[in-house]
Amino acid sequence: MLEEAVTLYELAHNYDKVLEILNEELSRKLMPNDKAHEHINEIAVSVESRTLNANTSLRKQFLLLLDLYKFHKLYHSGHDKLEEALSVISRLQIIPLQQETINHRVQAFKSFSDELRRCIPDILIMVMSILNKLYKNASKSGSSLYGAQNKQAQKIRDQARVVMRFAGMLPYSMPGDTHAQLSMLDAPMRY
Protein backbone atom coordinates (compact mmCIF):
# COMPACT_ATOMS: atom_id res chain seq x y z
CA MET A 1 0.00 0.00 0.00
CA LEU A 2 2.87 2.36 0.78
CA GLU A 3 4.41 1.86 -2.65
CA GLU A 4 1.07 2.51 -4.33
CA ALA A 5 0.52 5.75 -2.37
CA VAL A 6 4.01 6.97 -3.19
CA THR A 7 3.57 6.07 -6.85
CA LEU A 8 0.20 7.84 -7.12
CA TYR A 9 1.49 11.03 -5.52
CA GLU A 10 4.58 10.87 -7.71
CA LEU A 11 2.42 10.57 -10.83
CA ALA A 12 0.51 13.64 -9.66
CA HIS A 13 3.87 15.42 -9.13
CA ASN A 14 2.91 16.01 -5.52
CA TYR A 15 6.39 15.43 -4.10
CA ASP A 16 5.58 17.18 -0.83
CA LYS A 17 3.01 14.48 -0.10
CA VAL A 18 5.49 11.78 -1.19
CA LEU A 19 7.99 13.13 1.35
CA GLU A 20 5.36 13.47 4.08
CA ILE A 21 4.46 9.79 3.67
CA LEU A 22 8.07 8.64 3.48
CA ASN A 23 9.18 10.78 6.44
CA GLU A 24 6.44 9.29 8.59
CA GLU A 25 7.26 5.75 7.50
CA LEU A 26 11.04 6.22 7.79
CA SER A 27 10.72 7.57 11.32
CA ARG A 28 8.51 4.66 12.37
CA LYS A 29 10.67 2.04 10.69
CA LEU A 30 14.05 3.62 11.40
CA MET A 31 14.94 1.56 14.44
CA PRO A 32 13.60 -1.96 13.81
CA ASN A 33 16.07 -4.14 11.97
CA ASP A 34 13.76 -6.17 9.73
CA LYS A 35 12.52 -6.57 6.15
CA ALA A 36 10.00 -3.72 6.48
CA HIS A 37 12.89 -1.53 7.55
CA GLU A 38 14.85 -2.46 4.41
CA HIS A 39 11.80 -2.11 2.18
CA ILE A 40 10.92 1.45 3.24
CA ASN A 41 14.54 2.46 2.76
CA GLU A 42 14.59 0.99 -0.75
CA ILE A 43 11.46 2.96 -1.66
CA ALA A 44 12.91 6.15 -0.15
CA VAL A 45 16.23 5.79 -1.98
CA SER A 46 14.44 5.11 -5.26
CA VAL A 47 12.41 8.37 -5.11
CA GLU A 48 15.11 10.56 -3.54
CA SER A 49 16.42 12.02 -6.80
CA ARG A 50 12.90 12.83 -8.02
CA THR A 51 12.05 14.98 -4.99
CA LEU A 52 14.44 17.85 -5.74
CA ASN A 53 11.55 20.30 -6.24
CA ALA A 54 9.73 19.36 -3.03
CA ASN A 55 9.36 21.55 0.03
CA THR A 56 12.84 22.33 1.35
CA SER A 57 12.13 21.50 4.98
CA LEU A 58 10.41 18.21 4.08
CA ARG A 59 13.32 17.27 1.84
CA LYS A 60 15.88 18.21 4.49
CA GLN A 61 14.11 15.99 7.03
CA PHE A 62 13.84 13.20 4.46
CA LEU A 63 17.59 13.31 3.76
CA LEU A 64 18.33 13.38 7.49
CA LEU A 65 16.17 10.31 8.06
CA LEU A 66 17.97 8.52 5.20
CA ASP A 67 21.31 9.36 6.85
CA LEU A 68 19.98 8.09 10.18
CA TYR A 69 19.13 4.87 8.40
CA LYS A 70 22.80 4.66 7.30
CA PHE A 71 23.84 5.26 10.92
CA HIS A 72 21.49 2.51 12.09
CA LYS A 73 22.85 0.09 9.51
CA LEU A 74 26.47 0.86 10.47
CA TYR A 75 25.60 0.44 14.15
CA HIS A 76 24.26 -3.04 13.48
CA SER A 77 27.17 -3.98 11.17
CA GLY A 78 29.51 -4.90 13.99
CA HIS A 79 32.33 -3.52 16.07
CA ASP A 80 34.51 -2.53 13.12
CA LYS A 81 31.85 -0.05 11.90
CA LEU A 82 31.19 1.71 15.22
CA GLU A 83 33.63 4.58 14.67
CA GLU A 84 32.16 5.13 11.22
CA ALA A 85 28.65 5.20 12.73
CA LEU A 86 29.82 7.75 15.30
CA SER A 87 31.28 9.93 12.56
CA VAL A 88 27.91 9.85 10.74
CA ILE A 89 26.20 11.12 13.91
CA SER A 90 28.84 13.79 14.30
CA ARG A 91 28.36 14.91 10.69
CA LEU A 92 24.57 15.04 11.06
CA GLN A 93 24.90 17.41 14.02
CA ILE A 94 21.84 16.20 15.91
CA ILE A 95 23.58 14.61 18.91
CA PRO A 96 26.47 16.62 20.38
CA LEU A 97 29.80 14.98 21.05
CA GLN A 98 31.65 18.12 22.16
CA GLN A 99 30.85 20.30 25.15
CA GLU A 100 30.66 23.53 23.16
CA THR A 101 27.91 22.19 20.88
CA ILE A 102 25.40 21.11 23.53
CA ASN A 103 23.36 24.33 23.72
CA HIS A 104 23.24 24.64 19.94
CA ARG A 105 22.00 21.04 19.59
CA VAL A 106 19.34 21.58 22.28
CA GLN A 107 18.10 24.65 20.37
CA ALA A 108 18.14 22.72 17.10
CA PHE A 109 16.16 19.91 18.74
CA LYS A 110 13.30 22.36 19.34
CA SER A 111 12.92 22.78 15.58
CA PHE A 112 12.88 19.03 14.83
CA SER A 113 9.70 17.52 13.49
CA ASP A 114 7.74 15.09 15.63
CA GLU A 115 8.91 12.28 13.36
CA LEU A 116 12.55 13.06 14.10
CA ARG A 117 11.99 13.68 17.82
CA ARG A 118 10.43 10.23 18.08
CA CYS A 119 13.75 8.72 16.93
CA ILE A 120 16.02 10.64 19.33
CA PRO A 121 15.72 8.33 22.38
CA ASP A 122 16.80 5.31 20.34
CA ILE A 123 19.59 7.28 18.66
CA LEU A 124 20.85 8.45 22.06
CA ILE A 125 20.96 4.87 23.31
CA MET A 126 22.80 3.70 20.19
CA VAL A 127 25.34 6.55 20.46
CA MET A 128 25.94 5.80 24.13
CA SER A 129 26.26 2.09 23.33
CA ILE A 130 28.89 2.90 20.70
CA LEU A 131 30.79 5.07 23.16
CA ASN A 132 30.57 2.31 25.78
CA LYS A 133 32.00 -0.31 23.39
CA LEU A 134 34.74 2.01 22.13
CA TYR A 135 35.62 2.91 25.72
CA LYS A 136 35.93 -0.74 26.72
CA ASN A 137 38.20 -1.33 23.74
CA ALA A 138 40.33 1.77 24.47
CA SER A 139 40.59 0.90 28.17
CA LYS A 140 42.13 -2.52 27.65
CA SER A 141 45.58 -2.47 29.16
CA GLY A 142 48.68 -4.53 28.53
CA SER A 143 50.01 -2.48 25.64
CA SER A 144 52.95 -0.12 25.35
CA LEU A 145 50.45 2.41 24.01
CA TYR A 146 48.87 2.86 27.45
CA GLY A 147 49.24 6.65 27.27
CA ALA A 148 47.54 6.81 23.87
CA GLN A 149 44.83 4.41 25.06
CA ASN A 150 44.29 6.52 28.15
CA LYS A 151 43.87 9.67 26.02
CA GLN A 152 41.41 7.88 23.75
CA ALA A 153 39.49 6.53 26.74
CA GLN A 154 39.34 10.05 28.23
CA LYS A 155 38.07 11.49 24.93
CA ILE A 156 35.31 8.86 24.81
CA ARG A 157 34.45 9.50 28.47
CA ASP A 158 34.15 13.22 27.69
CA GLN A 159 31.87 12.47 24.73
CA ALA A 160 29.68 10.30 26.97
CA ARG A 161 29.39 13.17 29.48
CA VAL A 162 28.25 15.44 26.66
CA VAL A 163 25.62 12.96 25.47
CA MET A 164 24.31 12.50 29.02
CA ARG A 165 24.13 16.25 29.60
CA PHE A 166 22.35 16.73 26.28
CA ALA A 167 19.81 14.01 27.13
CA GLY A 168 19.10 15.72 30.43
CA MET A 169 18.59 19.13 28.80
CA LEU A 170 16.14 18.04 26.11
CA PRO A 171 12.73 19.68 26.39
CA TYR A 172 11.10 16.39 25.53
CA SER A 173 9.57 13.65 27.59
CA MET A 174 11.49 10.53 26.64
CA PRO A 175 10.29 7.01 27.44
CA GLY A 176 11.01 6.19 31.09
CA ASP A 177 13.59 3.51 30.42
CA THR A 178 15.69 5.74 28.12
CA HIS A 179 17.45 7.56 30.95
CA ALA A 180 17.94 4.28 32.81
CA GLN A 181 19.53 2.66 29.76
CA LEU A 182 21.73 5.69 29.16
CA SER A 183 22.87 5.63 32.78
CA MET A 184 23.70 1.91 32.62
CA LEU A 185 25.77 2.46 29.49
CA ASP A 186 27.47 5.49 31.04
CA ALA A 187 28.32 3.91 34.41
CA PRO A 188 31.43 1.94 33.29
CA MET A 189 32.89 5.14 31.80
CA ARG A 190 32.63 7.19 34.96
CA TYR A 191 35.84 5.92 36.57
53-77 per-position pLDDT tens digit:
888 888 999 999 999 989 998 999 9
Q: Which residue has the higher pLDDT, 21 or 143?
A: 21
Average pLDDT score over the chain = 87
H or E, element range at 147 = helix 146-169
Do 125 and 167 touch, CB atoms closer than 8 A? no
Q: Which position has the higher pLDDT, 145 or 134?
A: 134
Percent of the chain whose pLDDT exceeds 70: 90
According to DSSP, residue 143 is labeled S
Mean pLDDT value across residues 137-161: 76
| Confidence at residue 94, expressed as pLDDT on a 0 to 100 scale | 94
Q: Does 102 have pLDDT greater than 60?
A: yes
Cβ atoms of 59 and 19 closer than 8 Å: yes
Query: Does 97 score more than 60 pLDDT?
Result: yes
What's the rounded Cα separation, in Å, for the pair 130 and 81?
10
pLDDT at 32: 58
Q: Comparing 12-21, 38-47, 143-152, which segment has the lowest mean pLDDT?
A: 143-152
Tell me how far CA of residue 187 lies from CA of 43, 73, 88, 135, 154, in angstroms: 40, 26, 24, 11, 14
- How many Å is the Cα radius of gyration of the chain? 18
- Examine the pLDDT at 123 and tell me if it is beyond 80: yes
pLDDT of residue 46: 84
